[in-house]
Amino acid sequence: MQYRPITPKNDGWIEIFLDREIKLQIDGMIANAGKSVKSQLAGNISRSQELKPTDDFRRFIDEVIKNYQKEFDYLPRKTNVNHAETLELYDLWVNYQYATEFNPSHVHAGVYSFVIWHTIPTDIRDQMQLSFAKETRAPCVSCFQFEYTSICGNRKSFNYPMSPQMDGMMLFFPAELNHLVYPFYGTDDVRISVAGNLAWIPDK
């Protein structure tokens, strides 16, 4: 007899650790942050502001798309087959999250989305020592979490435990992938992240 495992294809996400040049680009964009976009977002957090991407950052995102598509073939078709469209970064913003604030489970608009952690003031090892977090079978305090469905239709999750070592890390994923951010505790310092969306934009 022969046994052959079959693994159905599922679209995932990619991790990227940003180099110094891109980090400096992001620092500059944050320093020149624009109007509040809090009312347009799901987050229960103090502040979210619009960012204007530099040309270098747009080129970086184009490279990320190419690398993602080498690993996964997730690319929803264009919204209007009768007109030329280009996949472009159309939303970019910075989040300022303080202790006890959170981002509920949600999806984004568009085709692809991403998050970049700029500043993480807490360490998961310390967060897990909080009285309510000890000995739990589902540790998630301060985590970023993806939610998805298995082949059997069961709800699954994948956690990213937050620590300062993740400063400068980027996750690039399908916009329709559910995700959430749990609250952290015990500090007055702010967690700063940058997020964005890409969609098909009609050519001019």
Taking only the tens place, the pLDDT of each residue in 3-20 is: 998 887 778 999 999 999
The rounded distance, in Å, linking the Cα atoms of 106 and 124 is 23
Output phi, psi for 164, to 5 deg: -60, -25
Residue with the bigger pLDDT between 13 and 133: it is 13
Q: pTM of the full predicted structure?
A: 0.92
Does residue 76 have a pLDDT over 90?
no
Lowest mean pLDDT among 72-86, 156-170, 179-193: 72-86
pLDDT, tens digit (0-9, with 9 covering 90-100), for 86-117:
889 999 999 999 999 999 999 998 999 999 99
Per-domain boundaries in the chain = 14-121+164-202
The CATH T-level fold of domain 14-121+164-202 is Jelly Rolls (2.60.120)
Q: What is the mean pLDDT of residues 160-186?
A: 96
